[in-house]
Structure 1
Amino acid sequence: MMPPRRLLAAVAVALLIGTSAACGDKASGFAADGRLDVVTAFYPLRFLGERIGGDAVAVTDLTKPGAEPHDVELYPRQVGEISDAGLVLYLKGFQPAVDQAVAQEATGRALDAGSVVELLAADAHEDEHGHEPGEHEHAEGGTDPHVWLDPVRFAAVADRLAERLAQADPARADAYRARAAALHAQLDALDAEFATRLRTCERREFITSHTAFRYLADRYGLTEVGITGVSPESEPSPRHLVHVAEQARATGATTIFFETLVSPKVADTIAREVGARTAVLDPLEGITEPGADYFSVMRGNLSALTAALECTS
């Protein structure tokens, strides 16, 4: 059953879509200055749109900087931006309000980043996080949406985006593909950095407040132990908190990670219980530091992991 907050958001978007649809024909998909209008759902997708689109696109992000994106709600203006866009880049199942608006307002003009790569399943032990049996944390069949935290998968999404931009704007197709190739090379280099620095570590398990790093762990042979599940709004059960504390002691964890957009209270509690410190591991769902970008945050995460896991490479 859809949580009440998401149900209300879905109803609101349905009303907004009805209003938008009554306003007239869709625009051409290009801004008055000739740039292609691209709408992105949240920060990592905005990053791709800006890097690959360059000065040929006008990017509008649906999630405000520093906002938690999972349950974003849309204003009428934003539904109109989706309707008018030349291309919408989103991740189906991550933001229900965006999914509904895209389905009704951007048919044939949207790219689902999750359709490009193989998605990992969400935590199979959802009942340990306080969920009712059978209730999925992620709307899309219990899959984990955080694909951007794996540079290899993220590079595949970048390549597909370049092709979709080229279809929408053939006159600048070569430029889109060239920028995507350059970004792909940078992501390959980042992947090599992670692989090298995480090759030899004292521990292979790390504990996070929000289970957002399974793609990163899967790529580099690590194991993530999450205090809450894929959704940061989920509440861990007392049994699961005991389990996490036991895992921390058993693995000799020195660090409990929390994230930038969610309260660190539960992470602090576990850390005090096992005598560990806390540190930030950023899931990159929104940028909070001026001047930061995907690469700087990912390298900050790498430094935090190598310190916590006592890596020697």
Structure 2
Amino acid sequence: MSSVFQPILEKGIVDHSILHKALMEYFSIADQSSAADIIQQLSGPLLVRMVDSREGSRIAMLCVKHGSAKERKKIIKGMKGYVGKIAHDQCGSMVLVCILSIVDDTKLVAKAVIRELQTILKDLVLDKGDAEENSDLDKQKKSSEVGEDDEDNSDTENVESENLNSVEGGKKDPFLRRQELLVNSGLAESLIDTCIESAGELLTSNFGKEVLYEVATGGADGILHPTLDAKLDALHETIATLVAQPKSEGPEEEHLFENFHSSRTIRRLVLDCPTFASILWKKALKGKCKMWAQGHSSRVVCAFSESSDSTVRDLAREELQPLIDGGILKLPENKPLAKAV
């Protein structure tokens, strides 16, 4: 069977989805040696031309997962100049997630992949697929989120189940990998700068708000602390300053407390980031809770009473209790204002 594919691959005829499907079928039945021969042929620029299809991206992930260090290097170098285009593609972006999760040579990944991503960060964080990819850098998501396909192919699904549902990391410690890719590479700092520059736009974006939340809370396991604490404080100040702007009388501009997306994101930040909650209270809410006790904004106000952090609860207690007692502010059920100890 490999003799059928080899002349096709040698001629570089890899753009057709029918070939991608045939290769996936082949990988489902091929022995390790035969599959390795095909992976070796695909490693490099050829693979870049395949990642925009569902099967093509799966093949690319198989090549990354099962390829040698030398083959992985060829795959990554073959992406030079195309990383931005790949990142904007739903299927292609999952190949980048796979590379970030598996390849132990983080210096190569930082130089060849992350450096190109840094130049288009704003576009990425406002794009649905790419917002998820940037969030993956903080969370290391699984790569089973490739788009749905109506075709039912049991052999292909078996390969996916075995190899693609969970992208296993390489030998390097996962936290160290994330530290090197996010912090040491400068990506996290650039990401925070992008969030500061576009905070208002991200807060009201259906997908960008997720990136902003992950960054503002310091990433999973606090990956951004303590190295970037000063930058994170600047981001918190920026968000609080935007929210502190006066409520517009006209209907043309919706306040961040009243916007569906931003109000819920700010609420999550209050609940999960005490540092931000303190800044927000002092800049935007102290003495103004009654004005924001109705509508979407009430969720943010209520978050201060629901916080697991006693300092945050104590900040708001004196102002919120009369509003609660007077029925102006209604807390979620079973969420009474915690009493001071």
Query: Normalization by structure 2: what TM-score?
Result: 0.27
Greater relative contact order, per chain length (Cα 8 Å cut-off, separation 6+): 1
Question: Per residue, is there more helix in 1 or in 2?
Answer: 2
Query: Normalization by structure 1: what TM-score?
Result: 0.29
Question: Per residue, is there more strand in 1 or in 2?
Answer: 1
